Protein backbone atom coordinates (compact mmCIF):
# COMPACT_ATOMS: atom_id res chain seq x y z
CA UNK A 1 0.00 0.00 0.00
CA UNK A 2 1.33 3.44 -0.89
CA UNK A 3 0.08 5.32 2.13
CA UNK A 4 -2.54 5.47 4.82
CA UNK A 5 -5.68 7.51 4.27
CA UNK A 6 -4.81 9.77 7.18
CA UNK A 7 -2.07 11.34 5.12
CA UNK A 8 -4.84 12.91 3.06
CA UNK A 9 -2.88 12.85 -0.21
CA UNK A 10 -4.73 10.93 -2.87
CA UNK A 11 -3.38 10.18 -6.33
CA UNK A 12 -5.77 9.07 -9.05
CA UNK A 13 -4.44 6.67 -11.67
CA UNK A 14 -6.26 7.50 -14.89
CA UNK A 15 -6.98 3.85 -15.66
CA UNK A 16 -9.07 0.99 -14.28
CA UNK A 17 -6.51 -1.58 -15.42
CA UNK A 18 -5.95 -3.82 -12.40
CA UNK A 19 -2.51 -4.97 -13.57
CA UNK A 20 -1.38 -1.37 -14.03
CA UNK A 21 -2.65 -0.45 -10.55
CA UNK A 22 -0.72 -3.33 -8.97
CA UNK A 23 2.41 -2.34 -10.84
CA UNK A 24 2.21 1.32 -9.85
CA UNK A 25 1.50 0.46 -6.23
CA UNK A 26 4.73 -1.51 -6.14
CA UNK A 27 6.70 1.15 -8.00
CA UNK A 28 5.46 3.98 -5.76
CA UNK A 29 5.68 2.08 -2.47
CA UNK A 30 6.77 4.30 0.39
CA UNK A 31 5.52 7.57 -1.10
CA UNK A 32 2.92 9.54 0.93
CA UNK A 33 0.00 8.88 -1.42
CA UNK A 34 -3.06 6.67 -1.47
CA UNK A 35 -3.35 5.44 -5.05
CA UNK A 36 -6.89 5.17 -6.41
CA UNK A 37 -8.52 4.36 -9.75
CA UNK A 38 -11.61 5.99 -11.33
CA UNK A 39 -14.01 3.25 -10.23
CA UNK A 40 -13.02 3.93 -6.60
CA UNK A 41 -14.54 7.37 -7.05
CA UNK A 42 -17.47 6.30 -9.20
CA UNK A 43 -15.92 8.26 -12.04
CA UNK A 44 -16.63 7.39 -15.67
CA UNK A 45 -14.57 9.38 -18.12
CA UNK A 46 -13.43 8.66 -21.65
CA UNK A 47 -10.72 11.04 -22.86
CA UNK A 48 -10.11 11.33 -26.59
CA UNK A 49 -6.40 10.79 -27.19
CA UNK A 50 -6.06 13.45 -29.87
CA UNK A 51 -2.44 14.32 -29.15
CA UNK A 52 0.25 13.83 -31.76
CA UNK A 53 2.75 12.56 -29.20
CA UNK A 54 2.73 10.29 -26.15
CA UNK A 55 3.39 13.35 -23.99
CA UNK A 56 0.38 15.23 -25.33
CA UNK A 57 -1.91 12.26 -24.73
CA UNK A 58 -0.60 11.60 -21.23
CA UNK A 59 -1.06 15.26 -20.31
CA UNK A 60 -4.58 15.34 -21.79
CA UNK A 61 -5.61 12.34 -19.67
CA UNK A 62 -3.94 13.48 -16.45
CA UNK A 63 -5.49 16.95 -16.59
CA UNK A 64 -8.95 15.71 -17.57
CA UNK A 65 -9.09 13.16 -14.75
CA UNK A 66 -7.69 15.59 -12.19
CA UNK A 67 -10.31 18.22 -13.01
CA UNK A 68 -13.14 15.69 -13.11
CA UNK A 69 -12.26 14.17 -9.73
CA UNK A 70 -10.73 17.25 -8.04
CA UNK A 71 -7.82 14.99 -7.11
CA UNK A 72 -4.22 14.91 -8.32
CA UNK A 73 -4.02 12.47 -11.20
CA UNK A 74 -1.38 10.42 -13.01
CA UNK A 75 -1.76 9.16 -16.57
CA UNK A 76 0.51 7.38 -19.00
CA UNK A 77 0.66 6.79 -22.71
CA UNK A 78 3.00 4.35 -24.37
CA UNK A 79 3.70 2.45 -27.54
CA UNK A 80 6.19 1.21 -30.10
CA UNK A 81 8.24 3.38 -32.45
CA UNK A 82 9.88 1.71 -35.46
CA UNK A 83 12.50 3.81 -37.23
CA UNK A 84 12.08 2.15 -40.66
CA UNK A 85 8.39 3.10 -40.52
CA UNK A 86 9.03 6.72 -39.63
CA UNK A 87 8.18 6.18 -35.96
CA UNK A 88 4.98 4.20 -36.55
CA UNK A 89 2.91 2.73 -35.04
CA UNK A 90 3.68 5.32 -32.32
CA UNK A 91 0.63 6.76 -30.63
CA UNK A 92 -1.51 4.43 -32.72
CA UNK A 93 0.19 1.29 -31.41
CA UNK A 94 -3.00 -0.19 -29.98
CA UNK A 95 -5.07 0.79 -33.02
CA UNK A 96 -2.43 0.02 -35.64
CA UNK A 97 -4.40 -2.78 -37.30
CA UNK A 98 -7.85 -1.39 -36.46
CA UNK A 99 -9.90 -0.81 -33.34
CA UNK A 100 -10.88 -4.46 -32.88
CA UNK A 101 -7.55 -6.00 -33.86
CA UNK A 102 -5.77 -8.51 -31.63
CA UNK A 103 -2.13 -8.43 -30.60
CA UNK A 104 -1.50 -11.12 -33.22
CA UNK A 105 -3.14 -8.93 -35.90
CA UNK A 106 -0.97 -5.96 -34.96
CA UNK A 107 2.24 -7.98 -34.99
CA UNK A 108 1.36 -9.57 -38.33
CA UNK A 109 0.78 -6.17 -39.92
CA UNK A 110 4.01 -4.82 -38.47
CA UNK A 111 6.05 -7.75 -39.75
CA UNK A 112 4.45 -7.51 -43.18
CA UNK A 113 5.38 -3.84 -43.45
CA UNK A 114 8.95 -4.65 -42.46
CA UNK A 115 9.27 -7.53 -44.92
CA UNK A 116 12.65 -7.27 -46.65
CA UNK A 117 14.08 -4.74 -44.18
CA UNK A 118 17.50 -5.92 -43.01
CA UNK A 119 18.21 -6.47 -39.32
CA UNK A 120 20.41 -3.40 -38.91
CA UNK A 121 17.53 -1.19 -40.10
CA UNK A 122 14.85 -2.76 -37.87
CA UNK A 123 15.70 -0.52 -34.91
CA UNK A 124 12.82 0.37 -32.61
CA UNK A 125 11.96 1.42 -29.09
CA UNK A 126 9.17 1.17 -26.58
CA UNK A 127 8.37 4.59 -25.13
CA UNK A 128 6.24 5.47 -22.09
CA UNK A 129 5.36 8.98 -20.92
CA UNK A 130 3.81 9.64 -17.52
CA UNK A 131 2.14 12.96 -16.70
CA UNK A 132 0.98 14.19 -13.31
CA UNK A 133 -1.59 16.95 -12.80
CA UNK A 134 -2.70 18.71 -9.61
CA UNK A 135 -6.34 18.63 -8.52
CA UNK A 136 -7.05 21.89 -10.39
CA UNK A 137 -5.71 20.40 -13.60
CA UNK A 138 -2.43 22.28 -13.62
CA UNK A 139 0.43 20.17 -14.94
CA UNK A 140 3.01 19.18 -12.33
CA UNK A 141 5.27 17.61 -14.91
CA UNK A 142 5.83 14.76 -17.32
CA UNK A 143 8.59 12.17 -17.57
CA UNK A 144 9.43 9.35 -19.94
CA UNK A 145 11.21 6.04 -20.18
CA UNK A 146 12.40 4.12 -23.21
CA UNK A 147 13.93 0.75 -24.02
CA UNK A 148 15.79 0.23 -27.30
CA UNK A 149 15.71 -2.89 -29.44
CA UNK A 150 15.07 -4.41 -32.85
CA UNK A 151 11.99 -5.87 -34.49
CA UNK A 152 12.41 -9.64 -34.89
CA UNK A 153 11.29 -11.46 -38.02
CA UNK A 154 8.83 -13.64 -36.12
CA UNK A 155 7.16 -13.69 -32.68
CA UNK A 156 8.94 -15.50 -29.85
CA UNK A 157 8.07 -15.96 -26.18
CA UNK A 158 4.95 -16.45 -24.09
CA UNK A 159 5.19 -13.62 -21.57
CA UNK A 160 4.16 -10.01 -21.82
CA UNK A 161 1.61 -8.61 -24.24
CA UNK A 162 1.25 -6.28 -27.20
CA UNK A 163 4.36 -6.22 -29.36
CA UNK A 164 6.60 -7.92 -26.77
CA UNK A 165 7.00 -11.16 -28.81
CA UNK A 166 8.59 -9.30 -31.75
CA UNK A 167 10.68 -6.81 -29.74
CA UNK A 168 14.21 -8.19 -29.71
CA UNK A 169 16.63 -7.12 -26.97
CA UNK A 170 20.19 -7.61 -28.31
CA UNK A 171 21.82 -7.29 -24.89
CA UNK A 172 19.61 -10.10 -23.56
CA UNK A 173 19.60 -12.26 -26.69
CA UNK A 174 15.81 -12.69 -26.58
CA UNK A 175 12.53 -10.92 -27.17
CA UNK A 176 10.73 -8.99 -24.45
CA UNK A 177 8.18 -11.82 -24.30
CA UNK A 178 10.94 -14.31 -23.43
CA UNK A 179 11.84 -12.42 -20.26
CA UNK A 180 10.16 -13.33 -17.00
CA UNK A 181 7.70 -10.72 -15.69
CA UNK A 182 10.25 -9.75 -13.02
CA UNK A 183 13.01 -9.31 -15.61
CA UNK A 184 10.74 -7.26 -17.85
CA UNK A 185 9.62 -5.00 -15.02
CA UNK A 186 13.24 -4.26 -14.18
CA UNK A 187 14.02 -2.84 -17.64
CA UNK A 188 10.71 -1.87 -19.24
CA UNK A 189 9.88 1.57 -20.55
CA UNK A 190 7.04 1.86 -18.02
CA UNK A 191 9.31 0.95 -15.10
CA UNK A 192 11.86 3.54 -16.21
CA UNK A 193 9.20 6.22 -16.61
CA UNK A 194 7.70 5.30 -13.24
CA UNK A 195 11.09 5.65 -11.56
CA UNK A 196 11.31 9.20 -12.89
CA UNK A 197 7.69 9.86 -11.88
CA UNK A 198 8.49 8.62 -8.38
CA UNK A 199 11.17 11.30 -8.11
CA UNK A 200 8.69 13.90 -9.38
CA UNK A 201 6.09 12.89 -6.80
CA UNK A 202 8.65 12.72 -3.99
CA UNK A 203 9.64 16.33 -4.70
CA UNK A 204 6.04 17.57 -4.95
CA UNK A 205 4.90 19.57 -1.95
CA UNK A 206 1.40 20.33 -3.15
* Residues classed as catalytic: 77
Report the first-to-last Cα separation within the chain, whole angstroms. 21
Cα–Cα distances in Å, from 181 out to 20, 89, 159?
A: 13, 24, 7
Neighbours of 143 (CB within 10 A): 21
Can you say how many angstroms the Cα of residue 175 is from the centroid of all Cα atoms in its chain?
18
Give the separation between CA 191 and CA 97, rounded to whole angstroms: 26
User: Residue 201: what are its φ and ψ, rounded to 5°?
Assistant: -70, -35
The strand ranges marked E within the chain are: 10-13, 34-36, 73-82, 123-133, 139-151, 167-169, 174-175
Amino acid sequence: MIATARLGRRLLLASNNAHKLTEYRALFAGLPFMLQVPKDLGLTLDVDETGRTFTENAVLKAQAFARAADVAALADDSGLEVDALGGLPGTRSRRYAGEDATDADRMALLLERLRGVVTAERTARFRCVIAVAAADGSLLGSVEGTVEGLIATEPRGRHGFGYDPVFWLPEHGCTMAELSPEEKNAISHRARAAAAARDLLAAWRG
